[in-house]
Amino acid sequence: MADLFDRELDREVATFEANREGLLRDGAEGRYALVKGSEVIAVFDTEAEAQTAGCARFGQEPFLVRQVRMAPPPLTVFDVGI
């Protein structure tokens, strides 16, 4: 199970990184991207809004929330108690 989680997390981090420059061009710097699989779902003003939206949409499934910044942001794993 951890292996699957690690692969999915790697995929979501790669998706975020592949889209980071575009998000910056679109004016999302400082906002929070919600990423699931190979898709940036939406961008939110606060981390709490992104986490709330992720939980509402994906329930107990893992997802990634990262702040859009010029430098890669630190990785924080959010566990909803699976």
Q: What is the pTM of this model?
A: 0.83
For residue range 21-63, list pLDDT tens digits in order.
999 999 999 999 999 999 999 999 999 999 999 999 999 999 9
Rounded to whole angstroms, how far apart are CA atoms 27 and 17?
16
DSSP code string of 31-74: SEEEEETTEEEEEESSHHHHHHHHHHHHTTS--EEEE--SSPPP
